[in-house]
Amino acid sequence: MRIIYETSDGGVAVIVPTPEYLLTHTMEELAAKDVPTGVNYEIVEDSVVPSDRAFRGAWTWA
C-alpha cells in the first residue's frame, strides 16, 4: 500500500511504509504521522503508482 498526496507545488508525493512500522501500526496511523498536517491524502494499492519515473516531475493527482 502507498499513501499519496499533493505537494505544495502541485506535484505528487508518495509515502512508502516500512514493513517494520506496519507490524504495529495501520496505514491510517502512518498517514496521521507522516502526511503534512491539513493535507488531503489517499491510501492506494502499490500498482496505482507508476513504475516508469522518466517524467516523475509531471505526475499529478486527480
Partner 1 sequence: MATIINADTSDGLKLTSDTSGQIDFQSAGSTKATIDTSGNLKFNSGFGSVGTAYGVRAWVNIDGVGTVGINASGNVSSITDVGTGAYRVNFTNAMPDTNFVISVTTRVHSYDRTQITARTTTSCDLGGFALGGSGADYDPVNVIVVR
Based on the shown chain and the rule CB under 8 A, indicate whether residue 48 belongs to the binding site for partner 1.
no
Scanning the structure block, which residue is given the C-alpha cell 500500500? Answer: 1
Identity of the residue, 24 or 62, whose beta carbon is nearer to partner 1 in the bound complex: 24
CA gap 55, 53 in Å, rounded = 5
55 contacts 15 by C-beta, under 8 angstroms:
no
**Least distance from C-beta 38 to partner 1, angstroms?**
16
Scanning the structure block, which residue is given the C-alpha cell 502512518? Answer: 30
**Least distance from C-beta 57 to partner 1, angstroms?**
6
Residues within window 5-34 making contact with partner 1, judged by CB under 8 A: 7, 11, 13-21, 25, 30, 33-34
